[in-house]
Amino acid sequence: MLRIALQMLIGDRAKYITLVSGLAFVSLLFIQQGSVFCGLMLRTAKPIETVGAQIWVADPTLQSIDESKPLLDTDLTRVRSVPGVKWAVPLFMRQTQVRLKTGKFQTVRLFGLDNASLAGRPGKMLEGDTSALNSPDSVIIGKAESERLNSPKIGDTFEINDRLARVVGIADVPRDFLSNPYVYTTYDRALQYSPRQRKQLNFILVQAQDSLDPKELVETIKKSTGLAAYTKADMQWLTIGYYMKNTGIPINIGISLTLVFLVGMAIAGQTFYAFALQNERYFGALKAMGTSSFTLVKMILLQSLTVGIIGYSIGSGAGCLIGWVNQTGRLAFFTPYQLLLISFVITIVICMVSSLISIKRVLQLEPAVVFRS
């Protein structure tokens, strides 16, 4: 009987292709929209990933990596005195403007690294070396979005706050949510590049002693200093949560995914109903031959499951292909395996719910229908 069900499904080529292509399109849209959402949210935390510090210390009012209240310089000494701290260094991070040779201004994300250790420096250099930051007026440019700075090369110059900045290296850094170029320099030089404020220290980067759990040290820092402290993962989730709460991205993507679900239900439901109408003679004949209702339900569910799996496979494959093609492009795209699982469940749910229409009609079918002209 199950083989007959598959033959009935594939035998009607037009409806079979319509069902598979419709479900493939639904899967593709779901994965594409979900991957864009995941990609955008991950980009909000890219500066934290790029710096790579084990523990971040900030003002207790910190909301995200981009919404921080500066600390007092004496806070650095207080953190260094906490038991279990291997080292603690300052980090300056702020959006500031660069004046290019063309006279145009461009906002950049300026990193001021500890003068001695350069902790938080780029992990991979494409050109030059991070040690060159010790030379006067030197900066390192992130490759991503560097075209906004007219793609500078080593030796090129521009101005930050009316001060000369000379490029001494190009770093391989990811794109972040704000899509501004990264500019690295030393902490003292970063203070000169930025307008003077009463407090300038944005973050304190901390490394725990080797035998100490970073989470345990985080709690110790909080109790000892009254400051906020986060592990790298907690800092990333804090920033992601801030952008999810304070931007319209989750609502917009959520509306898109809801529409995808409804369109998928409409396509699959109508097609399954038309399929049941067209094949009611065959179902009626099977009933007349003594086939039980339970067997007929299994046949319809098998047909539904078959087109769901095939459609999902095609759609998810196309969605992953889009991500692979754009892995070095501007499109924010990340497809976690959880999204693939959710998409699979959604596709199967659409098929199962849509098949209920066919099941209802077949169960109400009179065997005598096979004798009608």
pLDDT in tens, 54-73: 999 999 999 999 888 899 99
Quote the pLDDT of residue 371. 58
- Cα pseudo-dihedral 135, 137, 141, 145, rounded to 10: 180
The answer to whether the CB of 64 falls within 8 A of the CB of 239 is yes
Decide which of 166 and 269 is more confident.
166
pLDDT at 332 over 90: no
Lowest mean per-residue pLDDT among 268-282, 311-325, 344-358: 268-282
pLDDT tens-digit readout, 335-359 = 999 999 998 998 888 888 888 877 8
For residue 155, is pLDDT > 90? yes
H/E segment holding residue 300: helix 293-325
d(CA 50, CA 53): 9
Instruction: Give the separation between CA 70 and CA 143, rounded to whole angstroms.
Output: 28
**By the 8 A CB rule, do 73 and 67 touch?**
no
Give the per-residue pLDDT at 89: 96
Q: What SS3 class is residue 93? A: strand
Q: Are strands 163-171 and 138-142 parallel, antiparallel or unpaired?
A: parallel
Maximum CA extent, the chain: 95
Region of 194 (left: φ > 0; alpha: ψ -120 to 50; beta: rest) is: beta
Q: Residue 84 is encoded by which pair of tokens?
A: 């279990």
Higher pLDDT, 3 or 72: 72
- SS3 (DSSP) at 180: coil
Query: What is the distance between the alpha carbons of residues 27 and 33, in angstroms, rounded to a whole number?
Result: 10
Q: State which of 141-145, 288-292, 347-351 shows the largest mean pLDDT.
A: 141-145
Average pLDDT over every residue of 96-111: 91
Question: Whole-angstrom distance between the N-terminal and C-terminal Cα of the chain?
Answer: 25
Model's pTM, two decimal places? Answer: 0.82
What mean pLDDT is predicted for residues 215-232? 95
What residue has token string 């007959």? Answer: 4
Phi-psi region of 85 (alpha: psi -120 to 50; beta: other; left: phi over 0): beta
Of 194, 344, 200, 350, nearest in space to 272 by CA:
350
Q: Cβ distance 296 to 283 under 8 Å?
A: yes
C-alpha to C-alpha distance for 325 and 335, rounded to whole angstroms: 13
In the predicted structure, residue 235 carries a pLDDT above the cut 60:
yes
pLDDT band at 244 (very low <50, low <70, confident <90, very high): very high
Provide the pLDDT confidence category of residue 93 given band limits of 50, 70 and 90. Answer: very high
Task: Kindly calculate the radius of gyration of the chain based on its CA atoms and give it in whole angstroms.
Answer: 30
Q: How far is 174 from 46, CA to CA, in rounded Å?
A: 7
Residues 6+ apart with CB under 8 A from 292: none
pLDDT confidence tier of residue 77, bands split at 50, 70 and 90 = very high
**3-state helix vs strand vs coil in the chain, percent to 5:** 55, 20, 25
Give mean pLDDT, residues 232-243: 95
- 221 with 57: CB under 8 angstroms? yes
pLDDT at 369 over 70: no
pLDDT tier for residue 372 given thresholds of 50, 70 and 90? low
Which band of pLDDT confidence, cut at 50, 70 and 90, is reported for residue 274?
A: confident
Q: Taking phi first (over 0 means left), then psi (-120 to 50 degrees means alpha), and beta for anything else, what does residue 43 get?
A: alpha
What local confidence, expressed as pLDDT, does residue 303 receive? 84
Return left, alpha or beta for 86; rule: phi > 0 is left, psi -120 to 50 is alpha, else beta: alpha
pLDDT class for 98, splitting at 50, 70, 90? very high
Residue 267's pLDDT is what?
78
The average confidence (pLDDT) of the chain is: 88
As to burial, measured by CB atoms within 10 angstroms (0-12 exposed, 13-18 middle, 19+ buried), residue 37 is buried
In this model, does residue 76 exceed pLDDT 70?
yes
Q: What pLDDT is stored for residue 63 in this prediction?
A: 92
Pairing verdict, β 85-99 and 228-231: unpaired
Residues 261-267 have a mean pLDDT of: 80
Least confident range of 40-44, 159-163, 252-256, 351-355: 351-355
* pLDDT tens-digit series, residues 24-56: 888 888 898 899 999 999 999 999 999 989 999
Which three-class secondary structure state does DSSP give residue 229?
A: strand
Write down the pLDDT at residue 218: 96
Angle at CA 53, nearest 5°, toward 86 and 146?
Answer: 145
pLDDT tier for residue 198 given thresholds of 50, 70 and 90:
confident
SS3 letters for 190-206?
A: HHHHCCCCCCCECEEEE
Instruction: Yes or no: say if 335 and 38 are a contact pair by the CB < 8 Å rule.
Output: yes
What percentage of residues in the chain have a pLDDT greater than 90?
53
